[in-house]
Amino acid sequence: MNVTFLKWGAGSLALLVSATGATTTLLAQDPSSSQSSPAPSAPAAATEKKADPSIAERKENQQDRIANGVKSGQLTPGETANLEKKEAAINKETSADRAANGGKLTSAEKAQVNKQQNQVSKQIYTDKHNTNTAHYGNNKVGQRRENQQDRIANGVKSGQLTPSETGKLEKQQQGINKQVASDRKANGGTLNAAQKKQVNKEQNQASRNIYKKKHNAATQPNAKPKQ
């Protein structure tokens, strides 16, 4: 009788251990357990936080590339004005989309902005690597024009000049450059005293415009504090 009891007890114990192990395995695999059920909204929230800054970073990168092209002379005032006109249009569209969507951009709007910035990026590369370059010369007129371009480039890089402001300033510089080229052509490649005086007057006006636009309230998001 005792032997039969011991055999029965050992078998029951083995069965109990086996059942317990199976239960433990099932619990570990249960998808409803607290360890394997992350909050479904967490990934979406993380993606949303990363998406908006990337748009700002992309805009800043484009502006840096334009500023470097202006400073190096790879971008002419006309090319720069055209590029900044496109950047200003993208910024305006982005602001309108945010205003209509509670301050955010939808996935489709983000994709559209990225597509537009890709197009501008290609245009920046093309303009910086074509045969058109800004030549200023070693004379006073040339040095003045180069100085103005350096000031504009610094304003773009610091964020003190918005794309719209930069486009207007570069359009003004483009007008002066065309006038200088026309005067030189009509005067055997040089400028007479009256023409130099006129160019200097126009550059004085452009200089004041650069200062005003760099020190007004309009800035890029990455702008450094104004002095």
Show the tokens assigned to 181. Answer: 């080229």
* Domain assignment of residue 70, yes or no: yes
**What's the pLDDT tens digit per position in 135-171?**
888 889 999 999 999 999 999 999 999 999 999 999 9
Structure confidence at residue 171 (pLDDT): 97
* Domain assignment of residue 129, yes or no: yes
Domain that holds residue 114: 49-214
**Count of domains in the chain?**
1
Which positions ≥6 away from 184 have C-beta within 8 Å? 190, 191
Closest by CA to 80, choosing from 201, 176, 164, is 164
Long-range contacts of 1-5 (CB under 8 A, 24+ apart): none
* Domain assignment of residue 32, yes or no: no
Rounded-to-integer distance, Cα 42 and Cα 48, Å? 10
* Domain assignment of residue 192, yes or no: yes
Show the tokens assigned to 26. Answer: 């099932």
Closest by CA to 123, choosing from 98, 89, 159, is 89
* Domain assignment of residue 180, yes or no: yes
* Domain assignment of residue 29, yes or no: no
Local confidence band at 14 (pLDDT 50, 70, 90 cut-offs)? very low
Rounded-to-integer distance, Cα 68 and Cα 72, Å? 6
**What's the pLDDT tens digit per position in 94-114?**
999 999 999 999 999 999 999
SS3 33: coil
* Domain assignment of residue 34, yes or no: no
* Domain assignment of residue 107, yes or no: yes
